[in-house]
Amino acid sequence: MRCDQCDATITGEPTRTATRTLCHGCGETFVGLTAGYAATGSVGGAVSTARWYRVMRKIRRGGRS
């Protein structure tokens, strides 16, 4: 199974949207975009929210290393 967004091979559970199957990373970005769009009503806000999601993930993962 491959990601519809980045064409990476998906290991584990894929993230399914209404129209696509995404890998974990793209799924997170998609969720961030959706949340950002809902919160700001603009694509620019959606993109910045998606980046914010990624930064938060990095902080949580890399906290101990």
**Options 5-13, 33-41, 44-52, 53-61: segment touching Zn ion (CB under 5 A):** 5-13
One character per residue 18-47, x = contact with Zn ion (rule: CB under 5 A): -----x--x---------------------
10 scored as a contact of Zn ion (CB under 5 A) = no
What does the H/E/C string look like for the chain? CECCCCCCECCCCCEECCCCEECHHHHHHHHHHHHHHHHHCCHHHHHHHHHHHHHHHHHHHHCCC
For Zn ion, the closer of residues 8 and 38 by Cβ is: 8
